[in-house]
Structure 1
Amino acid sequence: MHDDDEAPRRDGRAAPSGREETREEQADRKWAELLQEVRVTQTGMQILFAFLLTVAFTPRFQSLGHADRTIYVVTVLLGAAATGALIAPVSLHRIVTGRRLKPETVHIAARFTVAGLVLLLCTVVSALLLILRVVVADVTAAWVTVAALVWFVSCWIAPAVWLCHRHRKDH
C-alpha cells in the first residue's frame, strides 16, 4: 500500500505534496478521511450482514440444497470477516490513543480498510450468487454474478489502479 503523501522532512514538515503540514497534522487529516470512508462502508456492510444472518431463520432456508447452503455459509463468513476488518480501525485507534502513534495507526488502519473493502466485495458477490441461484437458473446466476463482479471491480478497484499507474508513469 502506498501513501498518497510523502514522508516528512527533517524539520518535521511533510515533504512537498501540495500541503504544508507536520507529520502529526498529516496523520490527523488522513485519519479523518479514513474514518469517513469507514463510516460509509460500515453502514452498508452492517445492513448486508444483518440480512444474511436472518436468512437462516426463514422457512425457505430449509429447502436449500447443499451447494446453496455452502454458498450461504461462505457468504456469512466473508461478511463476518469484512465486518471485523472494517471495525478494526476503530478498535485499533481506541486502544493506542494517547501513545503518540497516530501516523502508524493510520497506516495500519488503512490496510484493514482495504482488506475490509476486498472482503465486502467478496461478500456482495457471494450474496448475489446465492440470491440469483434461488431466483433464476444456475447458468444465468453464474453469468450475472460474474458480470456484477466485473462491474464492482471496474468501480472499486480499476480507477485506483489506473490512477496509481498513471501517477507512477508521470513521475
Structure 2
Amino acid sequence: MRHGRNETEEERADRRWTDLMQEIRVAQTGVQILLGFLLTVAFTPHFQGLQQTDKTTYIVTVVLGSLATGALIGPVALHRIVAGRRIKPRAVTWASRLTFVGLILLLATLTSALFLVLRVVTHDAYVPWLVAGVLAWYLLCWFALPLWIRFRHTSGE
C-alpha cells in the first residue's frame, strides 16, 4: 500500500500553493467585507454618541481587522516578490504561517466586533457570555475539530 502522492518537491509545493490560495480567498473576502464595514462606522452620527469604552473597542477591532487583512494578503505579495527564485517550497511554508496568523487575527477581529455590536445594541451583562460562547464555537470549528481529525486520522509516519 502506497502512502502519499508520487510528486516532486516542486509539484508538491505547486499543489500546496494552489490549495492555500483557495483557502485564503474565503478568509480574505470575509475580513475585507468586515473591515470595509468597520471603517465606515466612525463616520456615522451614532458613533459620536458611543461611550469611550465602545470607541476603544471599535479602535481595537479596526486595528485587528487591518492586521488580519495584512496577514491574509501577505502570501500574495510574498509570492509576487519571490516568484521565479526557485524557493517555492519555502515560500509555501511562510505563506502558510502568514495565513495561520491571519486566521488568529480574524478570530480576534470577529470576536471584538461581535462584542462591540452586542454591547452597543443591548447594554446587557450577558454580552460577554454570549461572545465567549461564540468564541468557543469558533475555536471548536476552526481549531479543535481539525486538530482532532488530524491526530485521530493521521498515522505516526
- Scaled by the length of structure 2, what TM-score is found? 0.94
Q: Deviations over 1:1-45 (max 9, x none)?
A: xxxxxxxxxxxxxxx642000000000000000000011110111
Specify the alignment match of 2:92 in structure 1.
106
> What is residue 72 of structure 1 aligned with on the other side?
58
Give identity over the alignment, percent: 56
**Match runs of 1:7-18 below 5 Å:** 17-18=3-4
Correspondence 1:8-157 to 2 at 5 A: 17-157=3-143
- What letter matches 1:134 in structure 2? V
In the aligned structure 2, how far is the partner of 1:164 from the partner of 1:139?
A: 38
Q: Structure 2 counterpart of 1:116, which letter?
A: G
| Distance in 1 between residues matched to 2:48 and 2:124, nearest whole Å | 19
Give deviations 1:68-104, integer Å, cap 9, x for gaps.
0110010001000000000000000000001001000
Distance 1:65 1:78 in 2: 20
Q: Which amino acid aligns with 1:122?
A: A
**Residues 47, 96 of structure 1: alpha-carbon distance in 2 compared, 3 angstrom cutoff:** same
Moved over 6 A (4+): none
Residue identity opposite 2:74 in structure 1: A
Q: Which has the higher contact order (CA 8 A, sep 6+)?
A: 2
Give the drift of 1:132.
0.2
Q: CA deviation at 1:161?
A: 1.9
Q: Give, in angstroms, the shift of residue 118 of structure 1.
A: 0.6
**What count of residue pairs does the alignment treat as equivalent?**
155
User: Aligned to 2:125, what secondary structure does the other structure show?
Assistant: helix
